[in-house]
Amino acid sequence: MERQYQTVPQMYARLQSMIRQRADTGFRRAVAEAVLQPANPFEPQKKRLPKQGLSIGILVLLVLALAFLFFSFHPGR
């Protein structure tokens, strides 16, 4: 049997198809794991909530942004 060499675009397409077939890899999955609470294996259909630390951080940033906007556009005397 003779070896068949593949070009770089063929290998890239093959790699992409292999990654797409696996549900446990990818950027979207990594972001979800970093932002959301761990999934419950006994209730896989239950919606995952955001992590508490992330929620508090977003809330603090939102309050700071609102305070900045208030004092930036508030007419001073």
pLDDT at 1 over 70: no
Q: Name which residue leads in pLDDT, 19 or 8.
A: 8
In angstroms, rounded to a whole number, what is the distance separating the alpha carbons of residues 63 and 44?
A: 34
**Cα 6 from chain centre:** 33
In angstroms, rounded to a whole number, what is the distance separating the alpha carbons of residues 35 and 53?
A: 9
- Residue 26 DSSP label: S
Single pTM value for the model: 0.57
State how far the alpha carbon of 57 is from the alpha carbons of 12, 22, 36, 43, 61, in Å.
39, 32, 14, 28, 6
**pLDDT tens column, 22-68:** 877 778 888 988 999 998 889 989 999 999 999 999 999 999 999 99
**pLDDT tens column, 13-34:** 999 898 888 877 778 888 988 9
In the chain, where the domains are located: 8-73
- Max CA pair span of the chain: 88
